[in-house]
Amino acid sequence: MKKFFFLFLVLFSFTKASHAHYFSESYSNWSIIDNKVSATFTILKLEATRVLQIDSFQELGKEKELSEGEVFLEYFKSRISVLNSGNQCTLKKQATLVDGKKEYHTIEFMYVCDATDSIKIINNVLFDIAQSHVHLSRIKKDNKIFEKALFYNDQTILLDNIDQDEEKSFFSNLSSFIYSGIIHILTGLDHLIFLIGLFILVNNFKHLLLVITGFTVGHSITLALVALDIVMPNTLMIEALIGFTIIFIAAEYMIKDSKLSNRIVSVLVSILVLIGLSSLVLEIPISLITSFALILITIGYFGIIKSIKNYGIFRIIITSLFGLIHGFGFGVFLFNSEFNQSNILSALFGFNIGVEIGQIILLLVLIGLSSFCLKVLNSEKYEYLLKYSMVLVSSMGFYWFIQRLYF
């Protein structure tokens, strides 16, 4: 047990040094009236801190005593441009930070072009830092609304091409949202790590399918609630809780066949108690009440699995609850894209299908890797591989949980 704890510390340090963030995303709304192109750009404040990885901007912030938002603004200014027939449009309103959602930076700016035809929007924000970054743009022109996702290999919006498009059909929108769902799950490292942890924890394929189904039902419910603007959760709290779900399943794995189960649960509860107490003096996303609820869930669940042999149904229930948490994360991504409300069915249905396809792809890869390892390793070495892998899972979950609460 000591060597696994030592490995956890090493991996946790490595994870922290990697400055790993969750899924990288940003959003913008563009309005084109006559020859004026005005826009609002939105990004999660925590996501914007990626800019501090660049030494020149880190030094700029210290030299001029700028806030993190102001540093991001300086980075932002040179990475957005609007062209008309190949010529740079005039910047009429300088990019400025404005009041918006609490956890987000909101930037407004406006260009004036010589004409409204052949307009090209170029957005290079964060793609030079995170190649997995996805930007969702919503453009309104001539009383029509268009949407486009920008990726590392496609950072431009050509309005001439958009103008030639007819209103998209349900099925063309569906395919677009399916693709977005697949990209979201396969580039969302925290979601992937959670699923890897489940795969290691549940060694029965039939039970694994039931657990994954519970997770799917859970995240489908909250994805719909958020996308329909029925519920809007605290984004930072949800991101932190996703880290906690990873720690939770890692703790369950470590408790199996372990004489130190009480100690492991005590450590988990102690962490939650400290977080609850710190919420009284620090402004963090998780309140004392939330911490208390997590403590009750932790003690209750691990008490149940310790006292009964067949606790499979309880694992399905807890995984479904965790699915609700992850669904908030999926839903916030979809909601912040501010997709056209006429696309609501294709957005929800397609995005959810895409997420499920992404999960299936990951599970097939894990099954293939597991089969290969079983062929080349004996059972003892295979078990060690699983244990070390779960230590990595737990260290990443712990890092995300703490980092998203305090930094």
Q: For residue 303, is pLDDT > 70?
A: yes
CB atoms within 10 A of CB 236: 18
Strands 90-98 and 87-88: unpaired
Q: What's the half-sphere exposure (Cβ side, CA atoms, 13 Å) at 316?
A: 13
Q: What one-character DSSP code corresponds to residue 154?
A: B
Predicted pLDDT at 65: 92
Q: What is the mean pLDDT of the chain?
A: 84
337-362 confidence digits (pLDDT tens):
655 556 677 778 888 898 889 999 99
Give the single-character DSSP code of 53.
G
Asked whether the predicted pLDDT for residue 227 surpasses 90, the reply is no
- What whole-number distance in Å separates Cα of residue 208 and Cα of residue 168? 38
**Pairing of the two strands 80-84 and 144-150:** unpaired
Cα(358)–Cα(23) distance, integer angstroms? 14
Q: Can you give the pTM of this predicted structure?
A: 0.75
DSSP state of 151: B
Which range is most confident: 30-39, 111-120, 141-150?
A: 30-39
What does the pLDDT read at residue 9? Answer: 44
The H-assigned helical ranges of 337-378 are 344-376
For residue 36, list its beta bridge partners. Answer: 33, 112
DSSP-derived pairing of the beta strands 80-84 and 119-123: antiparallel
